[in-house]
Amino acid sequence: MAEFRTERLGQLIQEMISALVLEGAIKDPRVSPFVSITRVNVSRDLSFADVYVSNIRENANIERCAEGLQSAAGFIQSQLGTALRIRKIPRLRFHADTSIREGFDLVKKIEELAAGTGS
């Protein structure tokens, strides 16, 4: 039962942070409107939430975007606190997620190898 609760809370946090980014509520210039929240892992005791962010357009700026979101973590937590009805809001920790870009690069390399061996 506890796993379901942490997964559901992670989904809610992901949706709310995505909405804040999309609305432009986070004013930090490092936060791109093209950023996406790929996943949120909430700890079992609900004290921390690891938020993974990705950006398809600019791989080099994912780290900067994560830093911008981390600096706005207090604002984001306050917004979560007003919307969620839980006793303690998890502390947010933002991480750059390069798995989408790495997946695209891997597919590109496989296609290049397949084109090279087919001729």
pLDDT in tens, the chain (119 residues): 468 889 999 999 999 999 999 998 999 998 888 888 999 999 999 999 999 999 877 555 888 999 999 999 999 999 999 998 888 899 999 999 888 778 888 999 999 999 886 54
Query: From its phi and psi, is residue 86 left (phi > 0), alpha (psi between -120 and 50) or beta?
Result: beta
Contact 30, 64 (CB under 8 A): yes
Give domain 2-118's CATH superfamily.
K homology (KH) domain (3.30.300.20)
Structure confidence at residue 53 (pLDDT):
94
Structure-block tokens of residue 8? 């559901």
Asked whether the whole model's pTM tops 0.85, one would answer: no
> Domain residue spans in the chain?
2-118
Structure confidence at residue 58 (pLDDT):
54
